[in-house]
Chain A
């Protein structure tokens, strides 16, 4: 029963969706402050490679090494985001182009690849990696076994993050201020909220989350380093934020949905179920589905009620208020 297609898909969705979830949560924070960061893929890759490097080079017990690796990954992602933040907040550059530049700089043929090469990280298994937390007896329980108890600690932490960010946005003063900054920076400025500071902090925090998302790939899912190991996850994460109406709990649903779609093609093949003329058709499903969902959520009514932060994508210049 636990090996039935549905259960396996859901469990896979949770596992493979976790990097997407982290990255989406980070992008959500940045976008809520009004900053669009298209460099998620680059930030994830840099986080992935630096987290992996930490685990390979740090001589410590598994627990310590893994915690350090996550911290390093977060810092690496944050540093990348800081470049983007400086360019678009202080220097008022185009957010779109700056984000793309970050992806090129840090991405698959850029900094992350360079670091992977120079630090000799390829062709080695991770010395420490995240594995399932609960004992295998619990993992065998029907339904909840594989889905809930078969996951590693990064998954559980991501759940905590979803709750925390959700509460932050709706119940805390800084969180409400953040929403004001994203909706109308001019009004927030008048109220005495430091728009620049909020944007910096949340964009950089977004980078940290993206870095952790990347490290999830190299430390939990496929514990090795390969150029471009995230394979476009950063772009999906950006779409997920829109898909989720900029709400953390819906980011979780979207991330797992997408993760399950990614696992669908091989699962169908292994069970000899043929959907369409070729396997490539099922491989493109995640992308097609995301487009369809984007269309639905972006339509007029939905947008008005639960839409994007109004000031998303625009630099805030006090003199031009």
Chain B
């Protein structure tokens, strides 16, 4: 008996060694195309933020074909997991990495890999091999807010939001300003979900806003759960990040959509040609960075016309929603008449630093 056992053990160990040995001979060789990688903070098919980036990656792959080899990594946490992922990507020969969330890369990190180009979405650090990119979604959010205001009868609009950070706050403000344009006196009520993507929490938020009186819903979060709820109770809905009309065909109004593809293509081409330069890119409607998703049935022709007018005015610079006079929730004048809020300059009166809500928004900017 004992001998059989020893033989069995020997057999097992041999099998183990054989397995490892055999696999050693099965290495793959990398090909010549330019390697670009995308790193997502959520699942690549979340129907929201990460999916929009994924669409951009697919666009680049389609346009450049065999000249590039693209890949993505999803669900990568900020911190150690990100640095491991980057280390392995670099070891595999990736030369350009798009990190699609704040907090991934800073100057010190980029300096560790001087031969690799980094681009980060929504961040602020810029260095020799680190560039930042984002865009004026607030303009299209403003336009989508106009649609919401027009669709509301009571003027009580619900807005589901994620975290009380400037990016979300300025979108909420833009939405409110748009709603007030088509529906003077409209109020936008906020509910914070503390997550970019949490369908259950977003549905509960939507439900709570509705039972508290909202007759139109909007959102700055990534799943269409609020829309599904809106559909079930028959109220209009403005989405975010992507065209989610299929989730709520009757309620759908429109949404502010990010179009990352053209920017990505431009940057990949530049990197391949050796003309890549770091900077702070802030896309606009003009360069196709941000657009409105196709309208649903609930948007009247008159509203469409009005939105189109304002869209043109924003494009040619004759209108900017964040132009003073702007009052905060307590009624205090924060931005003087005629003054335009800048992206980075101005402290709490800058787009990137805005931590106060405009008049007509109900809810706390602190979460």
Asked if the two chains touch in their complex, CB atoms less than 8 Å apart, one says yes
Chain B interface SS verdict (over half): mixed
Inter-chain contacts of A267 with B (CB < 8 A): 204, 208, 211-212
Q: Is the CB of A123 within 8 A of B46?
A: yes
Q: Is the CB of B46 within 8 A of A122?
A: yes
Q: Is the CB of B192 within 8 A of A269?
A: yes
In the complex, residue of chain B having the shortest beta-carbon distance to the beta carbon of A271: B212
A266 close to B (CB within 8 Å): yes
Inter-chain contacts of B364 with A (CB < 8 A): 274
Inter-chain contacts of B200 with A (CB < 8 A): 16, 217, 221-222, 229, 231
Q: Is the CB of B46 within 8 A of A269?
A: no
Kindly identify which residue among B207, B232, B246 contacts A266, using a CB–CB cutoff of 8 Å: B207
**Chain B nearest CB: distance from A169 CB in Å?**
31
In the complex the two chains form, what is the Cα distance from A123 to B205 in whole Å?
Answer: 20
In the complex the two chains form, what is the Cα distance from A210 to B214 in whole Å?
Answer: 35
Inter-chain contacts of A224 with B (CB < 8 A): 47, 199, 223-225, 228, 247
In the complex the two chains form, what is the Cα distance from A223 to B212 in whole Å?
Answer: 23
**Chain B nearest CB: distance from A273 CB in Å?**
10
Q: Is the CB of B204 within 8 A of A123?
A: no
Q: Is the CB of B46 within 8 A of A270?
A: no
Instruction: Known A8-B211, A12-B204, A263-B204; judge A270-B189 contact (CB<8 A).
Output: yes
In the complex the two chains form, what is the Cα distance from A117 to B193 in whole Å?
Answer: 25
How many chain B residues touch A (Cβ–Cβ < 8 Å)? 40
**Chain A nearest CB: distance from B54 CB in Å?**
10
A226 close to B (CB within 8 Å): yes
Binding stretch for chain B, among A55-63, A188-196, A246-254, A278-286 = A278-286
**Chain A nearest CB: distance from B248 CB in Å?**
8
Which chain A residues in 160-177 approach chain B with CB under 8 Å? none
B191 close to A (CB within 8 Å): yes
**Chain A nearest CB: distance from B217 CB in Å?**
11
Scoring A124, A270, A274 by chain B CB atoms within 10 A of each residue's CB, the highest score goes to A270
A299 close to B (CB within 8 Å): no
- Give per-residue flags for A196-229: 1 if the beta carbon is below 8 A from chain B beta carbons, else 0: 0000000000000000000001000111101101
Q: Is the CB of B208 within 8 A of A222?
A: no
In the complex the two chains form, what is the Cα distance from A224 to B363 in whole Å?
Answer: 29
B45 close to A (CB within 8 Å): yes
In the complex, residue of chain B having the shortest beta-carbon distance to the beta carbon of A230: B200
Q: Is the CB of B197 within 8 A of A226?
A: yes
Q: Is the CB of B46 within 8 A of A226?
A: yes
A125 close to B (CB within 8 Å): yes
Q: Is the CB of A266 within 8 A of B191?
A: yes
In the complex the two chains form, what is the Cα distance from A122 to B207 in whole Å?
Answer: 23
Which chain A residues in 1-47 approach chain B with CB under 8 Å? 3, 8, 12, 16
Q: Is the CB of B208 within 8 A of A272?
A: no
Q: Is the CB of B45 within 8 A of A3?
A: no
- Give per-residue flags for B227-241: 1 if the beta carbon is below 8 A from chain A beta carbons, else 0: 010001000000000
Instruction: Known A12-B204, A123-B51; judge A279-B367 contact (CB<8 A).
Output: yes
Inter-chain contacts of A280 with B (CB < 8 A): 194, 367
Inter-chain contacts of B224 with A (CB < 8 A): 125, 224
B366 close to A (CB within 8 Å): yes
In the complex the two chains form, what is the Cα distance from A283 to B198 in whole Å?
Answer: 14
Q: Is the CB of B212 within 8 A of A270?
A: yes
Inter-chain contacts of A272 with B (CB < 8 A): 189, 362-363
A90 close to B (CB within 8 Å): no
B262 close to A (CB within 8 Å): no
Inter-chain contacts of A231 with B (CB < 8 A): 198, 200
In the complex the two chains form, what is the Cα distance from A231 to B201 in whole Å?
Answer: 10
Inter-chain contacts of A3 with B (CB < 8 A): 211-213
In the complex the two chains form, what is the Cα distance from A138 to B300 in whole Å?
Answer: 32
**Chain A nearest CB: distance from B267 CB in Å?**
26
In the complex the two chains form, what is the Cα distance from A123 to B197 in whole Å?
Answer: 12
Inter-chain contacts of A131 with B (CB < 8 A): 232
In the complex the two chains form, what is the Cα distance from A224 to B226 in whole Å?
Answer: 12
Q: Is the CB of B204 within 8 A of A122?
A: no
Inter-chain contacts of B43 with A (CB < 8 A): 117, 122, 226-227
B158 close to A (CB within 8 Å): yes
Q: Is the CB of B208 within 8 A of A269?
A: yes
Inter-chain contacts of A229 with B (CB < 8 A): 199-200
In the complex the two chains form, what is the Cα distance from A268 to B205 in whole Å?
Answer: 10
Q: Is the CB of A125 within 8 A of B228?
A: yes
**Chain B nearest CB: distance from A166 CB in Å?**
29
Inter-chain contacts of A109 with B (CB < 8 A): 75
Q: Is the CB of B201 within 8 A of A266?
A: yes
- Give per-residue flags for A114-135: 1 if the beta carbon is below 8 A from chain B beta carbons, else 0: 0001001011110000010000
B190 close to A (CB within 8 Å): yes
In the complex the two chains form, what is the Cα distance from A3 to B225 in whole Å?
Answer: 21
Instruction: Known A122-B43, A123-B51, A222-B228; judge A283-B194 contact (CB<8 A).
Output: yes
**Chain A nearest CB: distance from B35 CB in Å?**
23
Inter-chain contacts of A125 with B (CB < 8 A): 224, 228, 246-247
In the complex, residue of chain A having the shortest beta-carbon distance to the beta carbon of B213: A3
Inter-chain contacts of B247 with A (CB < 8 A): 125, 224
Inter-chain contacts of B194 with A (CB < 8 A): 279-280, 283
Inter-chain contacts of A16 with B (CB < 8 A): 200, 204
Inter-chain contacts of A263 with B (CB < 8 A): 204, 207-208
Inter-chain contacts of B204 with A (CB < 8 A): 12, 16, 262-263, 265-267
**Chain B nearest CB: distance from A7 CB in Å?**
9
Kindly identify which residue among A221, A226, A271, A278 contacts B366, using a CB–CB cutoff of 8 Å: A278
Inter-chain contacts of B75 with A (CB < 8 A): 109, 227
Which chain A residues in 279-299 approach chain B with CB under 8 Å? 279-280, 283
Inter-chain contacts of A279 with B (CB < 8 A): 192, 194, 367
- Chain A interface (Cβ < 8 Å from any Cβ of B): 3, 8, 12, 16, 109, 117, 120, 122-125, 131, 217, 221-224, 226-227, 229, 231, 262-263, 265-267, 269-272, 274, 278-280, 283
Subset of 30 A-B contacts with CB under 8 Å: A8-B207, A8-B211, A12-B204, A16-B200, A122-B43, A122-B45, A122-B46, A123-B45, A123-B46, A123-B47, A124-B246, A221-B200, A222-B200, A222-B223, A226-B43, A226-B46, A226-B197, A226-B199, A226-B223, A229-B200, A231-B200, A262-B204, A266-B205, A266-B207, A267-B204, A269-B191, A270-B205, A272-B363, A278-B366, A283-B194
The 4 A-B residue pairs with the shortest CB-CB distance, nearest first, are A123-B47, A270-B208, A122-B45, A222-B199
